[in-house]
A and B are shown apart, each in its own frame.
Chain A
């Protein structure tokens, strides 16, 4: 008896040391069970999703799942229809869980609901299902509201406190980017600090390098006084930085947003993109798999208030998603702002 309560106390202490915010018992999923899972990114072929896969594979190995973890995704041109098709196929295969970075907006909701009804759990990460239908919970990289503040602040600093700012986003239906843009607009509207900062346009490069490059040049042509291009997408920010560098505009127009240090290091050092932010996609993939494993094995039910242990990353809690009524999230956070001082170290 004594021993047991001592253990519980130790566990509770450990949980609070690992940064849990409320007093609740964190569950630990039993390793070595069979969980068949699919990691379904928006599409294949860009670095962040490969990094997320690395993290998920690491977690799967750690947990010793005897099932398979597949990393499959559509082509960028066929992203939305391809995701619907692959989620449906995964349901047919009776996969235990599909980890989805949604690029199909609400169009994927019917397929997600069908999956949930057939017993295949759908966990979203990186980008959720906007209406939350069919989704168990969303593993959020950072608080979507705080991204708004960071993007607004980076724009404020780069523009010197006043001037025109434009946004170059991914696809118009990417719910993560849309939420961040809204958060940035909200931040700029609610604080008088940003009153001289003018958001002039939002354009979409669909996460295609060439399209994003051309859209960035289009912005410069359309707004001769533009000071900052804010690209909350790793594809868009590189394309925009390259466009400004190629046109010799880096002195005039600064690029910022969300980027991978490895892809941004040269632009950061040459002043085209002096500051940008991001979180670790490896960690995001790792946490997503840990949460999905706990859900698929029944260690957690996916209800608000549940806490679970996620290996090397500590304890996490399921909470209501402040951005989507009725939907649930697990918040990873925080993220890092990269400048010429720390980008080189992070790029390797």
Chain B
């Protein structure tokens, strides 16, 4: 097993299996198909964005604006539909708005050279502001029936469109990261952007593509969220960026870039979703759930860093 998985991923797999076993033995409803669908569905927008966030962080960048772009896209959809725009056209406009948002990020980061932490932090506030301006203090609903059906009903048996998209993107982005030359460039640049630049890689192009993709996927997820809940407000998807980044880091992706795998992130997603679901079924309240996941994150971020630190110190001493 360790041939295919890194030690970190093996550890994640063990935690995942333990969570499964706990859930299955303490919550009789856990293994039902409907519960498994709900388990994904309740966090589906976050876990889709986590997939593209994996590539961004491996590239040694970060995109804090994802949740605000989700909110903006959802708010824009609510606004457009309520002023009479046909649903299909509204979707296209929202996705286009996502691309524009991504382009703003990409230009400032890849061309102007401002750190992504600063740019996307500013955009986290800016795009959220736009979303709030669009819907004010209202809650906008009355979406077309086909739109909410797409968000709430299965299209392949009980499997919803969003869940299908998640698995398609998982495979596509996983192959891109680990099996394509673009993926290799993402990793090389993430390891050391200067070296990559000197060896002739078009660093700006790779970063531009990543931030465009990140924003486009976020805008799409904002729409999925709007469809699932049937109405939007200015605070739609507020604070989701932290949950998303949590999933990626727990998956063993290095916050300094260059290291990480899609398998690790998938395992981390499965752990978090199953933990939340299991705790819910066992009637554990929201405060405790947040606490448990917080402790898990502290352990996951501290452990590898402490280990690395320890190893490199020993190496220096030797």
Contacts and interface: CB of A to CB of B under 8 A. Distances in A.
Contacts of A106: 139, 141, 230-231
A173 interface: yes
Interface string A78-121: 10001011101100111000000000111101100010000000
B277 A89 contact: yes
Contacts of A114: 152
A73 B233 contact: no
A172 B277 CA distance: 28
B145 interface: no
Nearest to B141: A106
Interface string B33-58: 01100100010000000000000000
B283 A72 contact: yes
A70 B285 CA distance: 10
B286 A44 contact: yes
A342 interface: no
Interface in B248-287: 276-277, 280-281, 283-287
A84 B229 contact: yes
Band of interface residues on B: 20 to 34
Nearest to B43: A85
Nearest to A76: B286
Contact of A85 (B32, B35, B280): B280
A239 B233 CA distance: 25
Interface string B136-155: 01110100000010001000
Nearest to A130: B139
Contacts of A105: 139, 231, 233
A327 to B, nearest CB: 16
A114 B130 CA distance: 33
Contacts of B229: 84, 104, 107, 110
B29 interface: yes
Interface string A188-211: 000000000000001010000000
B128 interface: no
A251 B15 CA distance: 60
Given A93-B29, A107-B139, A110-B148, A44 B287 contact: yes
B116 to A, nearest CB: 25
Contacts, number: 77
A172 B138 contact: yes
A62 interface: no
Contact of B42 (A72, A88, A109): A88
B139 A89 contact: no
A74 interface: yes
Contacts of B29: 92-94
Contacts of B141: 106, 131
B38 A110 contact: no
A77 B32 CA distance: 30
B281 A85 contact: no
A45 B288 CA distance: 12
Contacts of B148: 110
B290 interface: yes
A311 B12 CA distance: 53
Interface in B136-191: 137-139, 141, 148, 152
Interface residues of A, number: 33
> Which of B38, B277, B286 has the most chain A CB within a 10 Å cutoff?
B286
A78 B38 CA distance: 18
Contacts of B233: 105, 107, 172-173
Nearest to B232: A107
B286 A75 contact: yes
B51 to A, nearest CB: 20
Interface string B287-298: 100100000000
Interface in B220-261: 228-231, 233-234, 239
A72 B279 CA distance: 11
A76 B234 CA distance: 17
Contacts of B38: 88-89, 92
Interface in B1-54: 29, 32, 34-35, 38, 42
Interface in A268-293: none
B263 to A, nearest CB: 27
A180 interface: no
Contacts of B284: 72
Contacts of A88: 38, 42
6 tightest A-B contacts by CB?
A172-B137, A74-B286, A89-B280, A107-B229, A75-B286, A105-B139
Given A73-B286, A89-B280, 4 more contacts: A72-B285, A78-B286, A84-B229, A204-B137
30 contacts: A43-B286, A44-B285, A44-B286, A44-B287, A75-B287, A77-B239, A78-B239, A85-B276, A86-B286, A88-B38, A88-B42, A92-B35, A92-B38, A93-B29, A93-B281, A104-B229, A105-B139, A105-B233, A106-B139, A106-B141, A106-B231, A107-B230, A107-B231, A107-B233, A110-B228, A110-B229, A110-B230, A172-B137, A172-B139, A204-B137
Interface of B: 29, 32, 34-35, 38, 42, 137-139, 141, 148, 152, 228-231, 233-234, 239, 276-277, 280-281, 283-287, 290
